[in-house]
């Protein structure tokens, strides 16, 4: 049997939910006080144990499910089938994040008054669609966003972008996260007076760094083909354009993300 992982290949692992482990998964299991990579060759749910094999399929024996501490998500950048949905994840909630010049603060309805001015230039909506909202309408929108997604499988993470030092709000960033797909769709908008200074790039990269720690490994953005500034932000976050379109926008993806 050909080995599933060859010498010197890089693997990406994450904490596992052992109750979701299936035959064919590559897991990190603790054996005799040491953690090794193993292939799961059988699962005994009634006795809460899994059968582990070596890299070539030779059966080593059974071990308790509680000894499975991690799961292999990728081998040399190639995702393992269905592995991402078996990651043990804490509740995902946006937290305050700091960059060199900006801070990301979890969005609240109370931000609506100041943000109505920040987002009040109709030119902001030339590529993304929509119109500026008055403070009351924006507050209602922010209340919905702060309340969270109605889909339990999706997490809405929204931040206002605040300048360090002055405390002035200058825009928003957001990630729509689907943990079971190891996927987050990103978006950002910076008010007209603060554009052209790299604030969107810094804020988006801070958000992408937080997502990597969650961990969420696959990032997507949809960008108007003529929106060069937004394309530059996506590129700075490690995304690349694909041939795929959605509502006239180009789908950008992080490396290794399948476009299926």
Beta bridge partners of 241: 252
What pLDDT score does 193 carry? 96
Instruction: With residue 26 as reference, give the H or E element that holds it.
Output: strand 26-31
CA distances from 2 to 21, 55, 228 (A): 22, 8, 46
**Would you state the structure tokens that stand for residue 62, as one six-digit string?**
């059974």
**Would you state the structure tokens that stand for residue 113, as one six-digit string?**
């008054």
What are the pLDDT digits (tens) for 52-99?
998 777 898 999 999 999 999 999 988 888 888 888 877 788 999 999
Same domain, 80 and 123: no
What pLDDT score does 248 carry? 92
Same domain, 43 and 172: no
Query: Does a structural domain hold residue 200?
Result: yes
CATH code (residue 32): 2.30.30.140
**Would you state the structure tokens that stand for residue 168, as one six-digit string?**
């002035």
Rounded Cα distance between 21 and 16, Å, is 8
End-of-domain residue from the set 64, 86, 108: 86
pLDDT per residue as tens, the chain (260 positions)? 577 888 889 998 988 988 899 999 999 998 878 888 999 999 999 999 999 998 777 898 999 999 999 999 999 988 888 888 888 877 788 999 999 999 999 999 999 999 999 999 999 999 888 999 999 999 999 999 999 998 877 999 999 999 999 999 999 999 999 987 889 999 999 999 999 999 999 999 999 999 999 889 899 999 999 999 999 999 999 999 999 999 999 999 996 544 33
- Name the residue range of residue 109's domain: 97-254
* Among the listed residues 197, 192, 221, the one whose alpha carbon sits nearest the alpha carbon of residue 207: 221
What pLDDT score does 1 carry? 57
Residue indicated by tokens 């990630």: 175
Number of structural domains in the chain: 2
Task: Report yes or no on whether pTM surpasses 0.75.
Answer: no
Same domain, 199 and 114: yes
End-of-domain residue from the set 35, 60, 86: 86
Query: Does a structural domain hold residue 157?
Result: yes
* Residues 6+ away with beta carbon under 8 Å from 202: 99, 100, 101, 102
């Amino acid at each position: 049997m050909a080995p599933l992982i060859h010498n010197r290949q890089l693997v990406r692992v994450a904490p596992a939910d052992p109750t979701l482990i299936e035959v064919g998964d590559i897991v990190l299991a603790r054996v005799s006080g040491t953690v090794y990579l193993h292939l799961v060759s059988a699962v005994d749910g009634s006795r809460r144990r899994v059968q582990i094999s070596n890299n070539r399929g030779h059966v080593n024996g059974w071990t308790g499910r509680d000894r499975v501490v991690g799961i292999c998500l990728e081998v040399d950048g190639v995702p393992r089938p269905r592995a991402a949905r078996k990651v043990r994840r804490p509740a995902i909630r946006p937290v305050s994040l700091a960059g060199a010049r900006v801070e990301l603060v979890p969005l609240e309805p109370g931000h609506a008054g100041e943000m109505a001015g920040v987002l009040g230039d109709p030119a902001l909506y030339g590529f993304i669609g929509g119109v500026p909202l008055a403070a009351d309408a924006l507050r209602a929108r922010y209340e919905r966003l702060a309340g969270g997604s109605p889909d339990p499988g999706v997490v809405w993470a929204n931040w206002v972008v605040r300048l360090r030092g002055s405390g002035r709000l200058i825009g928003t960033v957001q990630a729509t996260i689907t943990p079971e797909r190891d996927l987050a769709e990103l978006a950002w908008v910076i008010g007209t007076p603060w554009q052209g200074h790299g604030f969107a790039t810094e804020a988006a990269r801070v958000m992408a760094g937080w997502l990597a720690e969650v961990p969420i490994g696959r990032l997507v953005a949809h960008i108007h083909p003529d929106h060069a500034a937004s394309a530059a932000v996506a590129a700075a976050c490690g995304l690349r354009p694909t041939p795929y379109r959605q509502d006239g926008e180009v789908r950008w993806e992080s490396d290794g993300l399948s476009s299926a």
